[in-house]
Amino acid sequence: MPCQSVWHSCGESPHRRHRWGSRRISGASPFAPGFKTHANARGEAGGVVATGQNGRVCAVRLIPIHNDIVSSSWGMPGGISRALGWPETTDAQAELWLGAHPSAPARPIEANDFEALDEWEKQSGTTLPYLLKVLTAAHPLSLQAHPNPAQAAAGFAREEAAGIARTAFDRSYKDPYAKPELIVALNDGFQALCGFRPIAQTAAVLTQLAEIAPEPEPVRAFRELLTTEGLRNTVAFTLSRTADVQTLVAALVAADQVDGTIAPVIGIVQRAFPHDDGIALALLLNHLTLREGESLWLPAGNVHAYLHGSGIELMGPSDNVLRGGLTPKHIDEAELMNTLVFDEVADPRLQPIELADGVRTYRPASVPSGEGVPFELWEVTAQATLTLPSASIFVVTDGDFTLTLPGSEPPLAAGSEHHLARGSAHFLTDGAVATISGGGRMWVATAR
């Protein structure tokens, strides 16, 4: 029997509200195959009962959800299936979206009173402040950046007014939301480009490349441009689509063929996108290789590209992407230049915070434009008690867990235990105190 849609008042709202820009938001989202859910005392699969702040009883549901896997040329064959312990496949699997974005909202596995999480948003009157993804990349993604809240709202309104279809090739703003994001490596060896490397470091690399390049002058000129005119003018040059950029790229590729250890990113990108102008832009960025559990923080205006590996992504509920190379998709050079933040980034890694034994959080402090970051990602590896402030997503990538939510009375409490197996994800419809037992690796996305 499917869960009943019951929203009892607990405090001022069944969904705690959070402020993000000018919108009031709350909520979350999850998905799952291979799940097991115990029926509660009323016989409702996944229904549980908790006590609200004012002592009144409210319905909290844990709903298994799922979604279709996004395929892409850069996707890893069988990558999502391997990350989640699903049956093997050779399909190129790129992303699994777990959220309410209308482009690909997650759906309940069983019959429910909503067909997808975007419909749940409309029914509940809330907006989920994030989108969770599982990502697996065999080849580089595009060089890209994402807008801040003001830029996203203005860009979306501008393209709507211009009558550009949201599915059009030259559409940049699919929605009016910002897309700050973080990613945590699921395995050793996750490679990414992230943020502008300090100019002095890039200049040193260009000096070494010029010394071995068969045609050194374009490389020397690029170094001179960077050191005398700075990042903004140098990036503008790489996006100019001129013959001079192609001459520079040819010189960089030739130097890399002499010695591929000076700037390995040249060879990585060249193999995927031969002689792409983006090779010059890529050379300006930090090239990082993450160990399992290491994370990157990518605020609005940060230019980046994932190169290879598997990760868990948590981001704003947006699909706004402004590209700068390594892609056959639309590149809007002027809009990208308006979006980028031209700051040097010495180390873009995000350090997790230990909350308790077996629990740590990836919690960005803020974004450059001053807005608070409305989400955080918890990693749970052992028994713990979690105080969840809002609706939340649970995704299990290793092991098995049991989640217990407090019931108001013993007969109801008996129905509040749920088994979360590897490869499953669930949607908790409201904030609650959750007791976790078992072990492995579970990710919890929640609002702040």
Q: What range does the domain containing 248 cover?
A: 198-281
Predicted pLDDT at 193: 99
- Host H or E run for residue 219: helix 217-238
Predicted pLDDT at 371: 61
Residue 25 domain flag: no
- CA–CA gap between residue 191 and residue 308 (Å, rounded): 5
Residue 64 domain flag: no
Handedness of CA 317, 320, 325, 326 (dihedral sign): positive
Predicted pLDDT at 368: 55
Predicted pLDDT at 312: 99
**CB of 17 within 8 A of CB of 60?**
no
Local structure of 16: helix, strand or coil: coil
Residue 212 domain flag: yes
b/e burial code for range 52-85 (CB count within 10 A of at least 16 → b): beeeeebbbbbbbbbbebbeeebbbebbbbbbbb
Residue 186 domain flag: no
Q: How many domains does the chain have?
A: 1
Predicted pLDDT at 125: 87
Measuring CA to CA, which residue among 431, 435, 434, 436 is closest to residue 446?
431
Give the pTM. 0.85
Predicted pLDDT at 126: 82
Kindly report the number of other CB atoms within 10 A of residue 402's CB atom: 15
Spell out, as residue ranges, where the chain has pLDDT lower than 50: 1-57, 370, 408-415
Measuring CA to CA, which residue among 293, 447, 394, 357 is closest to residue 84?
394
E strands present in 52-189: 57-66, 69-77, 92-98, 107-108, 131-137, 143-145, 181-185
First-to-final CA distance of the chain: 33
**CB of 58 within 8 A of CB of 10?**
yes
Measuring CA to CA, which residue among 409, 320, 318, 424 is closest to residue 33?
424
Predicted pLDDT at 367: 56
Residue 21 domain flag: no
Predicted pLDDT at 8: 27
- CA–CA gap between residue 278 and residue 248 (Å, rounded): 11
Residue 241 domain flag: yes
C-alpha R_g of the chain: 23
Residue 225 domain flag: yes
Residue 3 domain flag: no
β-pairing verdict for 69-77 and 190-196:
unpaired
- Residue corresponding to tokens 């299990």: 396
* Residue partners of 51: CB distance under 8 A and separation at least 6: 10, 57, 58, 406, 408
DSSP-derived secondary structure letter, 29: -
DSSP-derived secondary structure letter, 344: B
